[in-house]
Amino acid sequence: MRTWQVERRKRTRHLIELGGLVTKAGIVDLTGDDRTVIYGALLWMADKLKSEDGERARDVWTGLGKTAFENERSGRNLIAMQNRHAAIFGVSAPPAIARRSRANAVCPRHNFSTVI
């Protein structure tokens, strides 16, 4: 296989994994698969990371992501993550997070979009 083919496959795999994260986070379902909303949210996130609050946002989002991955691996419910989200932002996390965590506990590796 040629070098450019190997690189193309690596890039394709990376893009598929990123798309899986968007789906896994419930973004597709929550936006009704509206690409303009998803793109707008990603642009807002990029602006936030470039702002003076960028480090804080990165720290908060890193903590939320780590907690979600740990809970998913252990099969625990994400109630702790919801409570942390509420404390940080003053709002509660979408109910789909808790429902999805129960579904992912059955098969967390292959369950990207199931919301019970």
**pLDDT tens digit sequence for 57-75:** 999 999 999 999 998 888 7
Quick one: pLDDT at residue 88?
65
Ranges in the chain, pLDDT < 70:
76-116
pTM score: 0.60
Dist. CA 86–CA 98, nearest whole Å? 14
Instruction: Annotate 44-66 with DSSP letters as a single string.
Output: HHHHHHHSTTHHHHHHHHHHHHH
Give the C-alpha distances (Å, rounded to integers) separating 61 from 4, 49, 54, 108. Answer: 34, 10, 10, 21
In the chain, where are the structural domains located?
Answer: 3-106
